[in-house]
């Protein structure tokens, strides 16, 4: 027990001896927490000043295709054709000339907000094909689906806040392993 107290005492003395001191000899206090430095490399062309952006916000609704086997009842087809919030989904606006991506998430009600500079954009699925992380062997059309354009948008002057609602159609997703498309 005494040996343990001696070791703890030695550790405390070592810590206080190595601590920064003020000119008066007292302990210097800081509010700095341990941190991890993350370096991000950007070029001037990657940085868009806030005053050259338009803020778009609104709601994204979706309709869906029937992706089952047997002919569905008319009620099910009507339900799938009724627009519903496209909630908790990742989407991306891709600038048509620079191909720069502006990703965003919808909330549970399909609401979104994204800042975009002037230009023409395509709204696409936010999921991306990454062969190192996922395998899409179940349908070769998956890679094509991930570049599917839901709709387009053009940002024109004056730059300001805009409300823009979208209704997009979600066909049978070849990337979903739970959906088996008929030949």
Among 14, 103, 134, 172, residue whose Cα is nearest residue 181: 172
Within-domain flag for 44: no
Which H, E and C letters describe the chain, residue by residue? CHHHHHHHHHHHHHHHHHCCECCCCCECCCCCCCCCCCCCCCCHHHCCCHHHEEEEEEEEEEEECCCCCCCCCHHHHHHHHCCEECCCCEEEEEECCCCCEEEEECCCCCEEEEEEECEEEEEEECCCCCCCCCCCCCCCCHHHHCCCCCEEEEECCCCCEEECCEEEEECCCCCCCCCCCCC
Within-domain flag for 148: yes
Q: Note the pLDDT of residue 69.
A: 82
Within-domain flag for 69: yes
Q: Note the pLDDT of residue 51.
A: 67
Within-domain flag for 43: no
pLDDT tens digits for 86-128? Answer: 999 999 999 999 999 999 999 999 999 999 999 999 999 987 6
Within-domain flag for 71: yes
pLDDT tens digits for 135-152? Answer: 545 567 877 888 899 999
CATH of the domain at 107: 2.60.40.1120
Within-domain flag for 133: yes
Within-domain flag for 130: yes
Number of domains in the chain: 1
Q: Identify the domain containing residue 142 by its residue range.
A: 49-170
What share of the chain has pLDDT > 90, as a percent? Answer: 47
If you average pLDDT over residues 5-31, what whole number do you get?
45
The more confidently predicted of residues 4 and 48 is: 48
């Amino acid at each position: 027990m005494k040996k343990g107290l001696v070791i703890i005492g030695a550790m405390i003395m070592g810590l206080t001896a190595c601590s920064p001191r003020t000119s008066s000899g007292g302990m210097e206090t800081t509010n700095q927490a341990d941190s991890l430095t993350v370096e991000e490399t950007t070029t001037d062309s990657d940085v868009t000043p806030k005053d050259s952006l338009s803020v778009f916000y609104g709601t994204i609704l979706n309709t869906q295709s029937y992706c089952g086997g047997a002919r569905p009842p008319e009620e099910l087809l009507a339900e799938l054709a009724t627009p519903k919030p496209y909630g908790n989904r990742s989407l991306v606006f891709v600038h048509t000339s620079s191909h720069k991506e502006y990703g965003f998430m919808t909330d549970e009600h399909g609401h979104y907000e994204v800042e975009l500079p002037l230009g023409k954009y395509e709204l696409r699925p936010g999921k991306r094909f990454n062969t190192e992380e996922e395998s899409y062997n179940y349908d070769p059309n998956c890679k094509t689906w991930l570049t599917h354009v839901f709709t387009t948008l053009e940002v024109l002057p004056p730059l300001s806040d805009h409300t823009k609602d979208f209704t997009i159609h979600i066909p049978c997703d070849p990337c979903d392993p739970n959906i088996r498309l008929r030949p």
